Amino acid sequence: MLFNSLTFLLHFFVFYLIYYYSSFRIRKLLLLIFGIYFYSQWGIGGTILLFASILFNYTIGILIDRSSLARKKHLFVFGIVSNVLYLAVFKYFLFVWGVLSDIRIEFGETPIQWKPNILLPIGISFYTFHNISYLIEVYDKRIMVCKNIFTFILYDLFFPLLLLGPIERPGNLIPQIEAERKISKGMIWNGLSLFCFGVFIKSSIADPLSRYVEIHVSSFTSLEPGILWIIAPTIAFQVYADFFGYSLCAMGLAEMLGFELMNNFKRPFFSSNPSEFWSKWHISLSTWLRDYVYIKLGGNRHGFFRENINLMLVWFLTGIWHGAGYGFIIWGFYLGVCLILYRVLKHIGLTKFQNKIFTGLGIVFTFYTFSLGLLLFRITAPSESLLILKNLKSIPTLQQIPFSLFFIIFPLLVFDLWQEWKQTERPTFFISTKPYFVSAILVFCFFWFSIVSPFGKEDFFYFQF
């Protein structure tokens, strides 16, 4: 049940009418029921596994809170290791199995014929990180343990962010679940506008770009020379429109329900260096890794060399988190190297020049560094990285450039330029309380165009993670 589907819109409309006119306690129950129903549309097996994860982490949190200091530490380690193994078994076991088969082939033996059939629950990376952050926050005494089982279930089953995040912090989401929420008309209009624009850029930008990419890059072995210089930025805008679109939908739905989620994107393509880029792209993941991995490893407290080793470990984990495959591991290593090279240049003082020309060049370089890295997502074997490098040795001709793509991307560029000009911390349409009539027309246009769009409905790109 995709956010950009008529099925979801009809279900949510009925749900929201009941929710809006209900009391606080009934609203909480309705959110829980709708969250279970929403996630169960992706399969009953995944729903059972999600509930098993919820009950396990709720119990571990309670035990950590009630135990002595020595036992508390053992319970914490057990909880973290169990969550990591849970994620590893369902997401990475088949990849490791495939690697073992490849190793057998390299040594002249027959590949492993039997392959286990393992379910991959949708959103497993997001809700597992959700639960790991909860256990860490409870163990470090940054938050009080959640003793209300229904509140904790809703913490993991809050449907706007259940599938693709953002990876909301327990210290932000749990208090909002427990507090009585007043929904103003301004929240409804702003939330509805964000949701509709999210659906719009998903259906009208991300999906057409995705189809263009799939048509032109079915295999790295049969590419026109230099075409990847065009395909790479197309993939970048496709992924951005797709994931940013989902994030806007999640933020908009949450605001209509009386919640405020963290902003996951802050105009990353205007970044002039890799460090700035990763502070604006998938913010909930980058800050999660910073707070719970990088700082726990020592951060920048043990010298410049150790700091960069910690960064490379974080980026290796980032690659693995995004997917089980050779391409994701190479992608993580590639981006880690890019970031460390920039930090080395900054460390020796070669990035101190600040003017419009250097900033503009930095934006182009950072964008293409990220764009070319996304090609690695499509690698199925390490040798294909050489085919990418070979193709990039050529320069595309003017005839190869599909100028029609600029018209597809144009609405997203205008929106980001507008937000950059206003220097907003969160995406907003600046809708005032009046006039509602004009706002309704704009919302209806976005809504209608997205529903009747000639482009078919595609899964969100990050569902695979």
316 lies in some domain: no
Q: How many CB atoms lie within 10 A of CB 344?
A: 13
299 lies in some domain: no
Instruction: Extract long-range pairs of 272-275: CB within 8 Å, 24+ residues apart.
Output: 272/358, 272/359, 272/362, 272/363, 272/366, 273/342, 273/351, 273/362, 273/366, 274/335, 274/338, 274/339, 274/342, 274/366, 274/369, 274/370, 275/339, 275/342, 275/343, 275/346
- Is the separation of the CB atoms in 35 and 158 below 8 Å? yes
Q: Does one domain contain both 397 and 254?
A: yes
Q: Does one domain contain both 232 and 102?
A: no
- Is the separation of the CB atoms in 28 and 177 below 8 Å? yes
Residue pointed to by tokens 């802050």: 266
Largest CA distance in the chain: 73
Q: Does one domain contain both 99 and 84?
A: yes
Tell which of 131, 148, 180 closes a domain.
Answer: 180
Q: Read off the pLDDT of residues 425-458 as tens digits, 9 standing for 90 and up.
A: 888 876 654 456 556 656 665 665 655 454 455 5
Q: Read off the pLDDT of residues 380-402 as tens digits, 9 standing for 90 and up.
A: 776 777 888 888 888 887 777 77
* Structural domain range at position 83: 6-180
Q: Does one domain contain both 409 and 439?
A: yes
175 lies in some domain: yes
393 lies in some domain: yes
Rounded average pLDDT over 211-234: 81
Please identify every residue annotated as catalytic: 322
Q: Does one domain contain both 111 and 148?
A: yes
Lowest mean pLDDT among 150-159, 168-177, 200-209: 200-209
pLDDT value at 6 more than 90 = no
Q: Does one domain contain both 208 and 167?
A: no
DSSP symbols for 251-275 = HHHHHHTT--PPP--S-GGG-SSHH
- Number of domains present in the structure of the chain: 2
pLDDT of residue 452: 47
- Is the separation of the CB atoms in 195 and 249 below 8 Å? yes
pLDDT value at 16 more than 90 = yes
Output the CA–CA distances (angstroms, integers) from residue 329 to 95, 242, 320, 335, in the order listed: 12, 22, 6, 10
Pull the structure tokens for residue 457. 């409905």
| Percentage of the chain lying above the pLDDT 90 cut | 39
Helix 207-216 vs helix 404-422: crossing angle, to nearest 10: 140
What sections of 21-148 are H helices per DSSP?
24-40, 44-66, 69-106, 124-139
Q: Read off the pLDDT of residues 62-84 as tens digits, 9 standing for 90 and up.
A: 999 998 888 999 999 999 999 99
Of the two residues 189 and 253, the one the predictor is more confident about is 253
Q: Does one domain contain both 118 and 103?
A: yes
Rounded average pLDDT over 281-293: 91
Q: Does one domain contain both 50 and 199?
A: no
Angstrom distance (rounded) from CA 22 to CA 250: 22
Output the CA–CA distances (angstroms, integers) from residue 201 to 194, 411, 432, in the order listed: 11, 8, 23
